[in-house]
Each structure stands twice: as structure tokens, then as C-alpha cells.
Structure 1
Amino acid sequence: MNQINHNSIIEILKKLVEIPSPSGNTEKVISAVERLLEPLGVEMKRNRKGGLIVTIEGKEKEKQRMLTAHVDTLGAMVKEIKNDGRLKLAMIGGFRWNAVEGEYCEIETSDGSTFTGTIVIHQSSVHVYKDAGEAKRDEKNMEIRLDEQVTTDKEVKELGIEVGDFVSFDPRFQVTESGFVKSRHLDDKASVAILLHLITLIKEHQLTLPYTTHFLISNNEEIGYGGNSNIPEETVEYLAVDMGAIGDGQATTEYCVSICAKDSSGPYNLKLRKNLVDIAKTNQLNYAVDIYPFYGSDASAAIRAGHDIIHGLVGPGIDASHAHERTHFDSLKNTSSLLYHYLLSDIVE
């Protein structure tokens, strides 16, 4: 599919990852998605949870599809302001503390002001703390060192920082000459960028889809319930587009599109999975069928919520999920191509 342009996907992706959007604080990034789509004249509406639903009318309206990708990310909240002016944290999403040690971060106050800092372990200095290497990376020891001249909790509060303020991680977005994309929050902004690129292609090339199709840009996936509502009654197929997990025992790579057979919620629909594999084979795409042992998606959340749908999960292969993530142009292209051909295929029943 030579209409797929990975440079366009990466341009969108860069814009998205540079907008802080931890789960629970996604207004700015959803507004940015709306601005990207406005020139296309697509039908858009927000749900009450703050997610965005884009609808493109197709030939068939009695049977419909929904695709979803989530724009919310991992992050944190200010849990406590310490007497020495440091900030303790509460996690948003399922990462490990060691994955954010040393990361630059941004704190957004309730009035919209922002302050920068670094996430460090309290026992950072090897010249002071004998256990600097062995100290446990946990909520007790990890803290934010603010880039402000503060040494007391009172001085921090005078800045306007309070318990409950959102903390976002510096994405450190980078594209290499060898075709790798390195950034935090490729989960799942890479998939959102792919869907936005496909919507653009459909509208610019005036393609008619076989079925009315909804694209849900969800905003609470990292905390478990992003895509479990606002699914039209006519929806037969529901496809989550989210990262493919890479590691020991996994078939997925940074170069393929990953088709999930099963995750922690159980198996995905077999007929839909077979259809996705057939599409990949027919179009000579690099793909892998895989099982993600510690994973859940918007599609599995929708099933748990009781929706009577055929559900599936695909996405670009992303290394080091929930840490310092990386993928490749090839994975973005293979995923985009699979989804393009899927959107033009028949529903399975």
C-alpha cells in the first residue's frame, strides 16, 4: 500500500508525544487531535469521559465497526510534599519505579502552571549513601527534585504545587537515521498516529468504506476502562490498536505488525484473528501472531463491560514497553497497511 507514508505518521506522533497526557489529564491532547482532524471535515464528538469518537459513514449502516487507540499515558500524581521540599509520588498506570529513575518530569498545578524536576531515588549520592545501589526503588524512596529554590514544604506550596497535581515524564522523542523511533509513550500514541493517518487517507482519497466505522481515541486505557463504553449498538467488530509486546518467548519484533491471540483477559475472537492473518498474508506484510501474558486492552475492557462484539487486537511491535520504548518505520508501515486493508474487508461473523 504505497499511500502509507511513515513520515506523516511520525510527524503526527511527534506532536502527540510532546503533549503531556497522563491518564486523568488528557484535555490538551484530545484537543490537539481534534485540531488535526478539523480540516478533514469528519464527524467528531466527545464522550463524557473525555475521549473522542470519529465516525466515517460507509455503505452498510446496519453492521458497523469500531477501532480504538488510546492517547492517555503513564504518569504520576503528587502524593506528598516532604518537609525538605521534595515530592513523593503515586503511580498512574503500571510501570516500575526503576523505569523512571533519573527521568526529567513536569508538574502541572490545578491553575495550569507547570514546573520541572527530576525523578530520583532519595539515596542518590554514592558519596553519602552506602546503599545507593541496593536501596529499593519504590514509592517510599522515589521522589521529585524540583528545579526551584525550595527547601521546605511551605515554599513548595507557595509555588502552587499541591497533592493531586499531575506529573508527566519527558518523552525524549528521537528518530534515528536507521529508521528507529525512540520515545516514551509510543504506547499508545504510535497507534493513535496511525489511525489519524488512515482517517486522513480515507478522506483525502474519498474512499468509501464498506461499513460505517467509528474511531475511538480513548483516554483512560492505562487505568483499565478507556474503551468500555460509547460503542454503538450496530457495532459488530471492535478492534483495539495497541502496542505489540516484545521480550523473551515473544514472536513480535520492532519491524512487524503484531496480531494478538490472547492476553491476560483470555483469547481474542478466533474468526477475526484469522481474517487479520489472511489479510497480512495476502498483502505480504511482516506480521507475528503473539500472546501477551501481562496485558489488557480497550477491546478486553469492552468485553468485560458486557458488549456483544467480535473483538481483536493488533499493533506495532514496541520494545521495552512502559519504559524507554522503541519501534521502527517498518512496524508502523506494516501496521498501517494491515489496518488499511482491514477497513476495506468484509466483517466476519
Structure 2
Amino acid sequence: MAGVKQKVNVDHMIELIEKLVNIPSPSGNTEKVIQFVADYLKELEIPYYLNRKGGLIATLKGQNEQEHRMLTAHVDTLGAMVKEIKSNGRLKLTLIGGFRMNAVEGEYCEIETSTGKMYTGTILHTKASVHVYRDKDERTEDNMEVRIDEVVRSADDVRKLGISVGDFVSFAPRFEQTPAGFIKSRHLDDKASVAILLSLLKTLKEENTTLPYTTHILISNNEEIGYGGNSNITPETFEYLAVDMGAIGTGQTTDEYCASICAKDSSGPYHPRLRKKLVQLAEQEDAYYQVDIYPYYGSDASAAIRSGHDIVHGLIGPGIDASHSHERTHRDSLLNTGAILYAYMLSEA
């Protein structure tokens, strides 16, 4: 498997990331982005099906059809829903996923009505003007609101637009690729990983590669709320590898250039055999990696374990800075993660 890095098309991955992050898909409202993935797989003539939760499972038949592998990445993101239409014509939010309100203060957003109509707005503190208020408040759901870009002065004005409680609110991704190779955007968690897997599927298909084991790719759509990857795991599946972002911060080994291999998160240790295998493959392919522990983190693999599946589970992903906030990674991280994953899919147990 020498030269695996040469098979990793980072430019294509970045193109996919840009397309994916610009499709709003907060948990619970992922049909459009799942359709994008389905259309991509149709062009490659890779079979797939949708589960009842709305996730997508693609399958590549391998030489061994009695033992299966599953890899997963999630396409759902953080977001919000309309909690209340306020008397001043602004919207109070309830959060989808775990993030701090200060991470979205000042962010542009879109409100999608039940009929599919879209309106734009900005998420602001209720005392945003420094010329009027001496603001010292902590940012909470109670003192943040959406200013809608429509002429609305009352709750009735808002309702006439078709906006109602329960409508989904998504955050502007603000995708940007810099000359130094950085990719800046919201929702790199976990659309960067989805792009990596989709790009690898394209390479495998174009090279007419037969994998050693039948391999399922689950594009899950409820990871941010805890249960995206806990079902549709075949009884034959012996290894389950979540591909999700590596967390960066004080005390972490992960950086924006590596593939981050998780040894333990808030759910407990990942299977040591699979972790050691990923390390071995990284060293074999000269792919820069770090082994790390994520203290406040859970993955689709840990959700699968909690749901009772008898599998060996692991977690790997690109290093992403400022998770659940203003995220950034580097093309080297995509390259290193892609190389390890490609080698893993071609490897024997």
C-alpha cells in the first residue's frame, strides 16, 4: 500500500466541504444535505439506502461478505429552533446541540418555515447597542434573539411571514480557504469528515478497488443530539470506526495538521486493538497523527456501543480548532486523515 497519500485528493475534499457546509442541516432538518450525498453516490453508482431516521448507508461489497466493517461520519450540525416569537418582532431560540451562545453572537442566520420559505437574520444580544446599554450580561438563551431582515414590529407581523415556533434556524458557515492552506468554516464538525469519506469512495470506485471486507459507510444525521449512529449496524459488523473531528485545546496533543486518533472520550476508552491498528497504519503511511483524549466529547461509535452492539469501536478525524465555534483546520489534516482511512479500508483485520 505504498504511496497511499498520492491517492488522497485533498482539493476534491475541500470542494466537497464548501458544498456541504453551505447546505443548512441542523440536527432534525437534514433532508437537503442527505439528498446531496445521495446524488453524489448515484453518480458513482454506489448503492445506498435511507434508514427511517433519515440517515444514509452506502455499501461496498468486499472479498469477505461474512465479516463487515462500518465507517461513519455525521452530516448534521449545530443549530437552533424558534422557541418564542417576541412582542417586538424578534425571535427567542432554543439550541440544537452543545454550544455556547457567545459562539453565535453576531452571526448571520437563516430561518426555514414549515413550508420551506427562508428568511435571513442576525443573532444578537438583547442589549446589543453600546450607545444605549452598559452590557455585562452572560450570554444565555433568555437574553439573545434573532433580528429578522423583514419589516416586522410585532409578533403578528412575524406570524404573517409564516414563521412559527419550531422552525429551524441555521448559522452562516462563512467558508473560506486561505493561501496558507487553512479551511475556515462553521460545521467542519463533521462535514470535513463526510467530505473525506465521500472523496475516498470516489477514488475506490474509479480504481475499481475491491475491499477485503464488505464495508458500509453511514452518513448519520443525529450525532449532535446523541443517537445518529446507534442503528442499522449489520450483525456481521466486527469493526465500527467513527470519523469525527479531533479536539484542540490546552492539554491536547491534537493540532490542525494531524489525524487525531482518540484513545478515550467522555464515554470511556475506545477499543485498544483498533486504536493501535490506526497508529500502525499511520506510521506505515508516514501520515502525521496524534493520539488524544477528548474530555467533553461523544461520537457515533460510543452511541453504537451504548446501544448494545457487539463491535470493536474506534474514532479518528481531522484536527479542528475552536470546535462548536469558529472552526478551522488545514489541508494537511485532511491529507493525513484520508491516507490513514484509505489504508484502513484496504487492510486485513
Calculate the TM-score normalised by the size of structure 1: 0.98
Matches within 5 A, 1:167-316: 167-316=169-318
Residue 20 of structure 1 is matched in structure 2 by 24
Question: 2:332 matched to which residue of 1?
Answer: 330
Deviation at 1:229, TM superposition (A): 0.2
Which SS does the other structure have where 1:140 is aligned?
A: helix
Pairwise CA distance, 1:9: 0.3
Structure 1: stretches of 5+ with no match in the other structure: none
**Partners of 2:106 and 2:339 in 1: how far apart?**
37
How many corresponding residue pairs? Answer: 345
Report the CA distance between 1:282 and its aligned residue: 1.1
2:125 matched residue in structure 1:
121
SS of the aligned residue for 2:142 comes to: coil
Q: Distance in 1 between matches of 2:315 and 2:269?
A: 10
User: Which of residues 326, 342, 345 is equivalent to 1:343?
Assistant: 345
Alignment of 1:98-177 (within 5 A): 98-130=102-134, 132=135, 134-177=136-179
CA–CA distance in structure 2, aligned partners of residues 14 and 155 of structure 1:
35
- Cα separation, 1, equivalents of 2:10 and 2:348: 26
Q: Which amino acid in 2 is paired with 1:15? A: K
Contact 2:70/2:240, CA 8 A, preserved across alignment:
yes
1: CA distance, partners of 2:156 / 2:25: 28
Looking at structure 1, the residues matched to 57 and 281 of structure 2 have their Cα atoms a distance apart, in angstroms, of 26
Does the residue aligned with 1:343 lie in a helix, a strand or coil?
helix
Distance in 2 (CA, whole Å) between partners of 1:146 and 1:39 is 38
Shift of 1:135: 1.1
Deviation, structure 1 residue 251: 0.2
Structure 2 gap ranges (5+): none
* Cα distance, 1:36 vs structure 2: 1.2
Identity over the aligned pairs, expressed in percent?
67
d(CA) in 2 for partners of 1:59, 1:33: 25
Q: Distance in 1 between matches of 2:277 and 2:250?
A: 27
1:50 aligns with 2:57: no
TM-score with structure 2 setting the length: 0.98
What is the rounded CA distance, in whole Å, between the counterparts of 2:26 and 2:341 in structure 1? Answer: 26
Cα deviation digits, residues 129-183 of structure 1 (max 9, x gap) = 12x2x11200110000000110100000000000000000000000000000000
Indicate the larger mover: 21-30 or 34-43: 34-43
